[in-house]
Amino acid sequence: MDLIENIQLVRKDGTQVSSSEVFSKQLIGFYFGAGWCAPCRIFTTLLADAYNQIKRDGHEFEIIYVSSDQNVQKFQSYFSELHGDWLAIPFRHEAIKALRQRFRIKGVPVLVIIRTDGTVITDEGRADIQAKGVHAFEHWISQAK
């Protein structure tokens, strides 16, 4: 997907991962959120639990956090405190604005699930996780076919 092509994404521990590595996964989720957002904080823990189980089950799935945090300290605190061991676009990277426009993000939290070619499977990932938990992944895989 050209909007995040050649970006060095970050993990909670500060390690960097090339965005090109993400596109070897079956599905990718873009999680739009912010630490100041109470619904985001609640959803993040649900998403982290589901993500951890999906990964333990051996599925090729990655989440990329797209921050609406107010400053880099709040971004780092929220990302390291509550998030799963997924990736994030560096704070204030120009790709954040482009992704918000591409997926028509007006508020947070939002979880958009895509195929590796950039085709949107659903922009209702949040509702799927809340209703189905870890089984949302199976639902997304069936929609991706």
How many Å separate Cα 8 from the centre of its chain?
A: 15
Residue 5: predicted pLDDT: 87
The per-residue pLDDT for range 23-45, each reduced to its tens digit, is 889 999 999 999 999 999 999 99
Domain ranges of the chain: 2-144
Residue 102: predicted pLDDT: 96
Question: What average pLDDT is seen over the chain?
Answer: 95
* Whether the predicted pLDDT of 129 surpasses 80: yes
| Tokens, residue 68 | 């609406």
The per-residue pLDDT for range 103-119, each reduced to its tens digit, is 999 999 999 999 989 99
For domain 2-144, the CATH superfamily is Glutaredoxin (3.40.30.10)
Q: What is the pTM of this model?
A: 0.96
